[in-house]
Amino acid sequence: MDTKTVKDVQYWKTFAGSLKIDARALIDGQSVDAADGKTFDCVSPIDGKVLAQVADCGEADIDRAVSAARRSFEQGVWAGLNPRKRKAAMLRWAALLRDHADELSVLETLDAGKPIGDTTSVDIPGAIYCIEWFAEAIDKVGGEVAPVDHHLVGLVTREPIGVVAAVVPWNFPLLMASWKFAPALAAGNSVVLKPSEKSPLTAIRVAQLALEAGMPAGVFNVVPGFGATGKLLALHMDVDCLAFTGSTAVGKQIMQCAGQSNLKRVWLELGGKSPNIVLPDCPDLDRAASSAASAIFYNMGEMCTAGSRLLVHRDIKDVFIEKLLAAAASYRPGDPLDPSTSMGAIVDTIQLERVLSYIESGRQQATLLCGGSRALEDSGGYYIEPTVFDVTDPAARIAREEIFGPVLSVLTFDSVDEAIRIANDSEYGLAAAVWTSNLTTAHEVSRRLRAGTVWVNCYDEGGDMNFPFGGYKQSGNGRDKSLHALEKYTELKSTLLRLR
């Protein structure tokens, strides 16, 4: 494509119209239909139209994919490579993905309803960066020589686990997948990835490009399907590790499946109901208000880290809400293929109905401050206005349960202790934020918040790979991103050598 091309809405619509989507599974180096020929419709939430027929993988396909992964692992075609060579292969793959960035961005936008401005700036570059980061890291991490009796040498090494399954969601389809498959592959594992049935297209395309970049057959397999396909992986006796991002309810089922089968390692990145606390000495109310709006309306609120509980001190509540509503007004549902759109479509009709039913319960239990309705119905797509509720009772459903949509609950408090009590009174503990000018308060509140990530005077900063990401409590276990992610995909081995 000519670099001077203006990438406006027309460009993206033309691109979308010219796509040829191959939605077959990718197993053992080949694009294949499901063994029983089953498919499902992949529907675009932008306009409700069918984008593709996707292979619906069942037991035979899962068995094939797992045994291809096992074979490639045992043969050492990937695990046995010098890490430097795995790095080179992954960097070639990342470069090829970059060449296909527009195609991947438009696929993600069509499939998940995300604004093209976000898929081109966050989702696709973020996934490529993740692949590059773990590729670059893997030839720099070594083991340990442990202190031991003089007649011995003691080595502590990390080895790939073997066959890693990844079951991932639809809110950041490729990005969340890359947080699993990039460290797993870099560490030398073979991977079977099940994307969400709501958003399988970029995962399939990225696996096709992995092959084109020279990744050996069987090392990276993609098996689209529904929850039942994910369950087959969770129950499979030859899957050594399952990394999951999704709902807490399904995370619990996956742990049970591991217990019923081979005790595979299970790593869960689950839901959240993250508190965003604004203290009266907040250094910049305007910035805090626009950040609070983006914390819940970015990506249509389909974020595990969404700042869905805004806790505001009573002394500044009125002025803050005024600023918040002004900031919310800049999020308007629009055509996701238009680069100026800040809010796209909700991923499917199930999620649309789910969010609308939460809004209905909010109308019963709280005061609606803005939004509250479906939008752009004529488009045939699934859009919801940014919605804010003033909630007096922290026990209200909308203030406790993960909605995963553009719905914000504003709660009021009178003291720091009360704010922390409300913030921590949740089954979740994924992320939290506090706004204050006082350094001591910032540190003390951060320490007391039970969450895997705490932001001070910001929200959702830190797109770098360097920070571990994951939750306390029922938000999951283990960490994505950073070198710590490699711990999930490796086993520790102690080797003791007797010298004499």
Nearer to ligand NDP (CB atom), residue 194 or residue 323: 194
Query: Per CB under 6 A, which of residues 458..497 are in contact with ligand NDP?
Result: none
In the bound state with ligand NDP, the residue whose beta carbon lies nearer, of 180 and 317, is 180
**Which residue reads 């795995």 in tokens?**
86
CA atoms within 13 A on the CB side of 285: 17
Paired strand residues for 31: 26
Minimum CB separation of residue 384 from ligand NDP in Å reads: 13
We find the least distance from the C-beta atom of residue 33 to ligand NDP, in angstroms, to be 18
Among 253, 261, 365, 457, binds ligand NDP (CB under 6 A): 253
Does residue 234 bind ligand NDP (CB under 6 A)?
Answer: yes
Non-local CB neighbours of 277 within 8 Å, separated by 6+ positions: 311, 413, 419, 420, 423, 432, 433, 434, 435, 445
Choice between 178 and 196, CB closer to ligand NDP:
196
Q: Pick from 218, 230, 362, 406: which binds ligand NDP (CB under 6 A)?
A: 230
Catalytic residue among 108, 132, 197, 269: 269
**Which lies closer to ligand NDP via its Cβ, residue 38 or residue 92?**
38
**Residues near 235 by Cβ (< 8 Å), separated by ≥ 6?**
257, 260, 261
Residue 276 in contact with residue 295, Cβ under 8 Å?
yes
271 binds ligand NDP (CB under 6 A): yes
CA angle 177, 194, 352 (to 5 degrees): 80
Looking at beta carbons only, is 258 or 279 nearer to ligand NDP?
Answer: 258
Residues near 378 by beta carbon (within 8 Å), at least 6 away in sequence? none
Of 246, 307, 381, 470, which one interacts with ligand NDP (CB under 6 A)?
246
Total Cβ atoms within 10 A of residue 213: 16
247 binds ligand NDP (CB under 6 A): yes
Cβ–Cβ under 8 Å, residues 435 and 288: yes
Is 404 a residue that touches ligand NDP (CB under 6 A)? Answer: yes
For residues 474 and 490, which CB has a smaller minimum distance to ligand NDP in the complex?
474
Q: Taking CB under 6 A as the rule, does residue 226 contact ligand NDP?
A: yes
How far apart are CB 303 and ligand NDP at their closest, in Å? 7
The smaller minimum CB distance to ligand NDP, of residues 100 and 354, is found at: 354
Q: Show the site string, 162-201: x = touches ligand NDP by CB under 6 A, - = not.
A: -----xxx-x----------------------x-xxx---
- Integer-rounded Cα Rg, in Å, for the chain is 23
Binding residues for ligand NDP, total number by CB under 6 A: 25
**Quick check: is 269 catalytic?**
yes
Q: Which of the 8 DSSP states describes residue 497?
A: E
Cβ atoms within 10 A of the Cβ of 268, count? Answer: 22
Query: CA separation (Å) from 220 to 74, 81, 216, 376?
Result: 14, 15, 8, 39
What are the C-alpha distances in Å from 139 to residues 134, 186, 191, 260, 490? 9, 9, 20, 36, 15
**Which residue in the shown chain puts its C-beta closest to ligand NDP?**
230
301 touches ligand NDP by CB under 6 A: no
Separation CA 239–CA 69 (nearest Å): 9
State the residues that interact with ligand NDP by CB under 6 A. 167-169, 171, 194, 196-198, 226-227, 230-231, 234, 245-247, 250, 253-254, 270-271, 304, 354, 402, 404
* Residues catalogued as catalytic: 269
